[in-house]
Amino acid sequence: MDVQIVLGSSSDMKLAEDASKILTEFNLVHSIEVCSAHRTPEKLDRLIHSSKAKIFIAIAGLSAALPGTIAARTTKPVIAVPAGVKLSGLDALLSSMQMPTGIPVASVGVDSAKNAALLAVQILALHDKKLAQKWSNYRAQLKKK
């Protein structure tokens, strides 16, 4: 599997579906799981340790502990998507960005699940020539628009 999308709440499923569409467009194998860092920490631990994904996308609002919790338990890249639940998502954005040294989390804009998926594509394309070509073509199409 290429990417594991993890939601802190099923209420963020629309964002996960946005990311999934992008990943599907690039033929990347991915799955979506709902695992709360606070409500189901044991399930989250099992998911992190059993996942064959190369990259995690963590979508969470409010305190947004999910991205940091995942990053603390894996050496794989973690991309945070702060969800705009309250305070226009600023609370989640700041939580995602304030990680201690040694536990990095990449953060995209509030509700920017598509950008999280595109960042995952860009990272994976570093070691996959076919994917790199698709990425290059995608960027070229953006210029035409």
113, 19 Cβ separation under 8 angstroms: yes
Q: For 31, which DSSP code?
A: E
Residue 70 has pLDDT above 90, yes or no: yes
Round to the nearest angstrom and report the end-to-end CA distance of the chain: 31
- Give residue 17's pLDDT: 98
- Give residue 145's pLDDT: 85
In whole angstroms, give the CA distance from residue 141 to residue 127.
Answer: 22
Listing DSSP states for 74-134 in one string gives -SS-EEEEE--SSGGGHHHHHHHH-PPTTS--EE--TT-HHHHHHHHHHHHGGG-HHHHHH
φ, ψ (nearest 5 deg) of residue 107: -120, 135
Tens digits of residue pLDDT in 45-63: 999 999 999 999 999 998 8
In whole angstroms, give the CA distance from residue 97 to residue 93.
Answer: 6
Residue 89 has pLDDT above 90, yes or no: no
- Please state the pTM of the whole predicted model: 0.95
Q: Considering the chain, what percentage of its residues have pLDDT values greater than 90?
A: 87
Tens digits of residue pLDDT in 92-104: 999 899 999 999 9
Q: Tell the residue number behind the tokens 């194998």, with chain if given.
A: 29
